[in-house]
A and B are shown apart, each in its own frame.
Chain A
Amino acid sequence: MAVVNGARVAAEIEIAALGKVFGQGEAAFHALKNINLKIATGEFFTLLGPSGCGKTTLLRVIAGFEQPSTGALAINGRQVAGQGPNKRPVNTVFQSYALFPHMTVAQNIGFGLKMLGKPRSEIDATVAEMLRLVRMEALAERRPSEISGGQQQRVALARALAPRPRVLLLDEPLSALDLKLRKEMQGELKRLQTETGITFVFVTHDQEEALTMSDRIAVMSAGRILQLGSPDEIYNAPVDRFVADFIGETNFLTLPVAGVSGDQAHLDLPGGTSAPARLPAGLAAAPGSSVTAVIRPEQAEIAPAEGADLTAEVESATFFGTDTHLHLRLSDGQPFILRRQNRPGQPPIAPGTRLGLVLAPGALQVLRD
């Protein structure tokens, strides 16, 4: 059983204390370190992290292209150590698509079923269904070299879906597409996942893509999973400095702890007031000590100086169309970025202006550090 966003569901993939080492001795490189992960059936699960953090390696371990150096991996409740990729109910959509250049679109899509020894009639029926699913009926007899990048991407998807795998692994499948096509394919992928009910493990280094598409996200860095949670948790309650920094824009504030009650801390703000902040699980912050807390730029609002949580002076303003970023300096000298929604007729705020700020309730999150 895996717990996903509070609900208990059957685990499709179970990874325990998994590590992967490339090379030996002096040259040994730990690409994955102590990965623990349960992915639920039918979940859209995303691995998010910067280049070189081990996303592809983890995906290749699940697919069976690499064997783990330590730890255990179970798919659908069965240990798969030592099993080759052709023995696992898992298919991959490769980053480079890896379509077979000597086969037509239809032959590419039917390849997996052919290898499984399915009868001709069943293969033809499934291929036709897949072509319809990815809207490629008209191009079934073309070769991969004769279709566009976005179309190749859809064929790669159809080819991996055709054998009805339990799990689909997608390694940055959209990174080669331009922005417009990318948005379109994001919707398409989500639709396919809902329609087929297949578990998706999706790799990306695009945080926006991860936030919009996923049921849950694992943020990785240097071979480790730093935080695992729903997009909302990852965005609004990052427990790790790297996670907070990697996803979106955020303000880091160093603040003294006034008191602790349960998983809440009260932090002293520069203006003399105090505000509640969430503590990460297992972190004991001693009153009097300093912690790092984060708050998103849109979680504070301009208010009259009296009764405000904070006061700050405007240093500069950057116009972004839908909103303006105000670069502020708090009364104790710490920088603070405020995102202010642009409205017609709203007077501009000049540098040097002094402002009061109120923080949205529950907006402050303490980091594990």
Chain B
Amino acid sequence: MGGNGWKWLLCAPALVVLVLAASGPLVIVAIYSFLSPGNMGGVTWEFSTEAWFRVFFRRDIFEPDLVTWNTANLAIFWRSVWLSIQTTVICAVLGFPTAWFIATRSPRSRPFWLFLITIPFWTNLLIRTFAIQEMIRNNGTINTVLLWSGLIEQPLQMLFTDFAILLGMAYVFLPLMVLPLYAAMDKMNLSLIEAGYDLYGSRGAVLWHIILPLVKPGFIAGSILVFIPAIGAYVTPRVLGGGQSLMLGNLIALQFGQGRNWPLGSALAMLMLIVVVVALVIYLRTVGRSDGERRV
């Protein structure tokens, strides 16, 4: 047993990092969500469920007993989830052919194509997002070209819409979908596809019955990698969505900034975490279930 004790000691540095870096902040946020807001931000150490109450409900200013659902918060919640789902789907639809293209290049040229995919990571996110803003502004590149070519009379309102947010998020998160999809395709034995054709499968049938089931682990990993940061996205909705199109990340940031309500911000952050975990569990239950290869 002494030997085992030593082995545990070897794990100690990793455990310390895990506890401090991962669980620590989480515990702090969880505790803060049950405290009262301080006057100038921060918290005062008084237990209160007010923050959690205000996540879901609203008191009338004049009649504090009149309680209604906090539809504004719930709408932002739903919007964030919905935009993130859309982003994930867009990334999957665009990422699949992209990854397929790379996986079917000659082995020598694949690193080059993978390198191209990672190029956006080399530039700061904020700068890239402002570049998109520049392109879709009312007097930006796209509208200028369209007006000049006579295709439209009035500039298209693209900036500060959900379209702009989706565009920005899909652009930012696409590599996170492409890379795991590529990894799954790279592992796939190409003669399985030939076997599918050989056994009278059409192109569509081979895609549906053979390729998609085999790259499903890539879809699952990619979806998780896209959905989680998407739901907490801050920069993209801020720059491309403008003031009206808030997402959860902005709402939380607001409570820690102008709102000076740290407990409310903490409660919102905790709720987001819960939503992500629940969404993941549902997703893995439904999509991951028929994944027979993994289950023996």
**How far is the CB of B191 from the nearest CB of chain A, in Å?**
4
Known contacts A101-B214, A102-B214; A86/B197 CB under 8 A = yes
Which one of B199, B205, B296 lies within 8 Å of A159 (CB-CB)? B199
- Whether a CB of chain B sits under 8 angstroms from the CB of A63 is yes
Enumerate A105-162 residues with CB–CB distance to B below 8 Å. 111-112, 115-116, 143, 145-146, 159-160
A65 touches B199 (CB 8 A): no
**How far is the CB of B215 from the nearest CB of chain A, in Å?**
11
- Whether a CB of chain A sits under 8 angstroms from the CB of B202 is yes
Bound Cα distance A357, B6 (Å) = 79
- Whether a CB of chain A sits under 8 angstroms from the CB of B19 is no
A112 touches B293 (CB 8 A): no
Residues of chain B contacted by A236 (CB below 8 angstroms) = none
Enumerate A82-99 residues with CB–CB distance to B below 8 Å. 84-86, 90-92, 94, 96, 98-99
A111 touches B199 (CB 8 A): yes
- The residue on B at minimum CB distance from A94 is B191
**How far is the CB of A39 from the nearest CB of chain B, in Å?**
18
**B196, B213, B214, B296: residue with the most chain A Cβ atoms closer than 10 Å:** B196
**Chain B residues touching A, range:** 20 to 34
B194 touches A98 (CB 8 A): yes
B202 touches A98 (CB 8 A): no
Bound Cα distance A64, B213 (Å) = 25
- Whether a CB of chain B sits under 8 angstroms from the CB of A242 is no
Interface of B is mostly: helix
- Whether a CB of chain B sits under 8 angstroms from the CB of A163 is yes
B205 touches A143 (CB 8 A): no
A112 touches B200 (CB 8 A): yes
Residues of chain A contacted by B196 (CB below 8 angstroms) = 100, 111
- Whether a CB of chain A sits under 8 angstroms from the CB of B233 is no
Bound Cα distance A91, B199 (Å) = 7
- The residue on B at minimum CB distance from A87 is B200
Q: How many residues of A contact B (CB 8 A)?
A: 28
A115 touches B200 (CB 8 A): yes
- The residue on A at minimum CB distance from B200 is A115
A86 touches B194 (CB 8 A): no
B198 touches A91 (CB 8 A): yes
Known contacts A100-B210, A101-B293, A163-B200; A85/B194 CB under 8 A = yes
- Whether a CB of chain A sits under 8 angstroms from the CB of B106 is no
- Whether a CB of chain A sits under 8 angstroms from the CB of B5 is no
A145 touches B293 (CB 8 A): yes
Can you list, as one digit per residue, whether each of A202-242 has a CB less than 8 Å from chain B (1) or not (0)?
00000000000000000000000000000000000000000
**A102, A116, A159: residue with the most chain B Cβ atoms closer than 10 Å:** A102
Residues of chain B contacted by A64 (CB below 8 angstroms) = 197-198
Q: Sort A-B residue pairs by CB-CB distance and give the 5 closest, nearest first.
A: A112-B199, A115-B200, A98-B195, A98-B191, A85-B197
Sample 24 A-B pairs with CB under 8 A, ordered by A number. Answer: A64-B197, A65-B198, A85-B198, A86-B197, A86-B200, A86-B201, A90-B198, A92-B195, A92-B198, A96-B189, A98-B191, A99-B195, A100-B195, A101-B192, A101-B214, A102-B292, A111-B199, A111-B209, A115-B199, A143-B293, A143-B296, A145-B293, A146-B296, A163-B200
Chain B residues near A (Cβ < 8 Å): 189, 191-192, 194-202, 205, 209-210, 213-214, 291-293, 296
